Amino acid sequence: MAQTNINFEVSFKEPQAHYADIAMQISGIKKDYIDVKMPVWSPGSYLVREYAKNVERFKAVSSTGEAVPVEKISKNTWRIHSKNQQQVTINYSVYGFEVSVRTNYIDDSHAFLQPTATFMHVDGELAQPVTVKINPAAAWSKISTGLKEIGTNTFQAENFDIFYDSPIEVGNQDVWNFNAAGVNHEFAMVGPGNYNKERLSKDITKIVELQTELFGVNPNDRYVFITHNYQSGGGGLEHLNSTVLGASRNAYNTPLGYNNFLALVSHEYFHLWNVKRLRPEALGPFDYDNENYTEGLWIMEGFTGYYDNQIVRRAGFTTPNEYLNLLAGDFNAVYNRPGYEIQTVAESSFDAWIKQYRPDENSANTSISYYNKGSMLAAALDVKIIAATAGKKRLDDVLKAAYQEFYVKQQRGFKESEFKALAEKVTGVSLTEIFQAAHSHGELDYNTYFNKVGYTLYDSNRGSDDLSLGATLSKDDGRIYVKSIERNGAAWEAGLSAKDELIAINGVRLDMQDKELDYILKTAKEGDKLSVLVARDGLLKDISLDLKTTYKKAYKIVQNENITNEQRKLGNIWLSIK
C-alpha cells in the first residue's frame, strides 16, 4: 500500500491585505475522489466559528499541472475528483483579520495562524503525519510554534490532532528562552510593550515549577508562549505544548496589570495538564465538524480558574488578602447574575456552545459562567479536604492522582462519577454534596467549609437600602439606552426593555451625566413611583416604575476574629502562609 503524505506550504503574497496562501499536497491516496475538510471550531474554545467562511480561490491540480474538478459538498468540505491520481495539490487563500487567540490575524507586520482556521485534512485521515513549510514575507525573519522543526522553516506533526493544536506566529517577534522545571521555554512577544524579559522569565519559572511539583511531572521537553500586545488586550488559549496570550502593552509595570498577566500565564499553563491531558471523555479524540458536548467544563475550566490565582499566591506574587479578594470576585460574578438560579454549572458547561460565547441582553438572567462557579466549587472541595484531613491532603492530591490514573495509566478521558470516586479514594473524604451542587439549582452553604479553616464569606451589601432601576444603561451618540434588564428588578416588573431610549424621568429630561437619575436614586425611597418616558422603535411610551432596593452583592472573604490554633494552621495551609 502506498504511503499517504500530506504536506503544506504557506506563503504570504498579500499580507497587507490580510491573506495567507496555502498549498496542500496530497499523495498516496488513490481514490476516485478525495474529500478535504476544514475544522469548524478550535479545541479549548467551545464555539462553532465556521472557519471555512474565510477560504477563497480553492482549486486543485494534478502532478502534471492539469486542473482537477472540485465541488463543495458541505459548508466545510470540498470534494476533489482525483480519479485515482497519485498526487493532487490544492491551492487556496485564507483571509485573517480578527484579533483573538482563536482566529487568524495577518497584516504587513506579522501573521498569527490558528491551524484549525488555516489548514484542512483529508476526511478519515486525521491520524496521518503532516509537514508544513512556512515562507515568511520578505520583511519577516522569525517563526514561533510548538511544532517540531525538521528543516529550514519546515515543521512536522505526528498527526492532525497535534498539528491543529500548534499555533504558528510568523514575523519579527521578540524571542527569548529560559529553562524551568527542566523544560526549555520559548517566549515570543509580538508587538511593543513595557515588559521586562528577565523579570518575566524569573517569575514565570516560579509558576511553572509550582505547577510541575503539583502534578509531579512536566509532559513536555519544550514549551512556547506566544503573547500579542495590544492597546487593551487579554485572554488566552491553551495548547498541547504552547499557549497564545493577549496582553495590554503598557500594563506590565503596574502591580495589577502584571499580576493579572501572571494569573493568565498560570491559567493557560495549568491547562497543560488539566484539559489537554487530564480530560472528560468528550474532549478527545475531537470531532472537528461538530460540537463536542460535555458537562465537565466546570472541572476543566473552573478548577483551572481556581488554581491560576492559587498558584500566583503560592509563588508570593499576591498577598493572602489580595488572593481572597480575587476568590470573592468569583462569588460576586455568579451571585450578581440572576441566572445562577436558572442554570446549573453542569448545564453551563454543556451549553457553552450556544450560550457562553454568544451572550445577549438577557444572558445575565439565564446563565452563569462555568469558570466562576467551577472555581467556587473547587474552593469548597479544596477547603473541605484540607479540614477533613488535618491538612494532610488537598485538591492538589486529587488532580495529581487523576492525571496519573486517567491520562498516564489508562490513556483515556474520564466520567465525572469516576473523577469523584477517585477524589474520595485519594482523600478519604465524602465529597458528594459538592459534586451534586454542580447539577443542582440549590446553593451550598460555603461557610460550612470556609469556617473550618478560620474564614467567612459575607455580603457587605446585605441590608443595603440603595435603590436601583434594575437596568444596565449605555450611552451612544448623545443618547441613553437600556442595555439589559435585571430579572425581578424594578425595570423588569415595570416593562422596560433592552434597547429602549431613556428620555425623561418625572418630566425631567435626562442628560448624559445621569445627574438627574443619580439624584433620584439618592433621595427617593423604596416603593416611590417614577414616570419614565422612553422611545421604543421610534414611538414614545410612558412607563410607571416602582423603585426597589438593589439586589447587587459585594462578597468578601475575611478571617474570623476568634479562631482556634487548628483553624489558623489549616487556613495557613490553604493560603500558603508560612
User: What CATH number belongs to 467-549?
Assistant: 2.30.42.10
What pLDDT score was predicted for residue 530?
95
What is the DSSP pairing of strand 121-122 with strand 111-113? unpaired
Residues 498 and 550: their CA atoms lie apart, in Å, by 18
- Look at residue 521 in the predicted model and tell me its pLDDT: 87
At 511 the pLDDT is 80
Q: What does the pLDDT read at residue 2?
A: 57
Average pLDDT for residues 149-165, to the nearest whole number?
A: 98
Q: Give the model confidence (pLDDT) of 466-479 as tens digits.
A: 999 999 999 988 89
CA distance 67 to 60: 6
Cell of 28: 498516496
Q: Model confidence at 516, in pLDDT bands (50, 70, 90)?
A: confident
Q: Which of 12-21, 449-458, 476-485 has the lowest mean pLDDT?
A: 476-485
Task: For residue range 31-56, list pLDDT tens digits in order.
Answer: 999 999 999 999 999 999 999 999 99
Give the per-residue pLDDT at 110: 98
Domain boundaries for CATH 2.60.40.3650 within the chain: 5-170
CATH classification of 173-256 is 3.30.2010, yes or no?
yes
Residue-level pLDDT at 1: 44
Query: Averaged over 424-453, what is the pLDDT?
Result: 98
**Model confidence pLDDT, tens digit, residues 16-32:** 999 999 999 999 988 99
C-alpha cell at 101: 487567540
Where do you find CATH 1.10.390.10 in the chain?
273-462+569-578
CATH architecture of 273-462+569-578: Orthogonal Bundle (1.10)
Query: CATH topology for 5-170?
Result: Immunoglobulin-like (2.60.40)
Cβ-based neighbours of 124, under 8 Å, separated by 6 or more: none
Q: What is the pTM of this model?
A: 0.96
Q: Is the pLDDT of residue 3 over 80?
A: no
The per-residue pLDDT for 165 is 98
Q: What angle do the packed helices 370-388 and 416-427 form, to 10 degrees?
A: 30
Amino acid 299: pLDDT: 98
354: left (phi over 0), alpha (psi -120 to 50) or beta: alpha
214-240 average pLDDT score: 96
Q: To the nearest whole percent, how much of the chain has pLDDT over 70?
A: 99
CA-closest candidate to residue 22, choices 77, 81, 89, 73: 89
- Residue intervals of the chain classified under CATH 3.30.2010 are 173-256
Question: What's the whole-number mean pLDDT along residues 407-427?
Answer: 98
Which residue has cell 504511503?
Answer: 3
Which pLDDT belongs to residue 550? 87
Q: Where in the chain is the domain with CATH 2.30.42.10?
A: 467-549
pLDDT (0 to 100) of residue 233:
87
Average pLDDT of the segment spanning 488-507? 96
pLDDT for 177 beyond 80: yes
pLDDT at residue 331 is higher than 50: yes
Report the pLDDT value the prediction gives residue 69, as an integer from 0 to 100: 97
pLDDT, tens digit (0-9, with 9 covering 90-100), for 371-407? 999 999 999 999 999 999 999 999 999 999 999 999 9
pLDDT tens, residue by residue, 542-564: 999 999 998 899 999 999 999 99
Per-residue model confidence (pLDDT) at position 441: 93
pLDDT digits (tens, 9 = 90+) for 234-258: 999 999 999 999 999 999 999 999 9
Neighbouring residues of 123: CB distance < 8 A, sequence distance ≥ 6: 34, 35, 36, 37, 77
pLDDT, mean of residues 417-432: 98
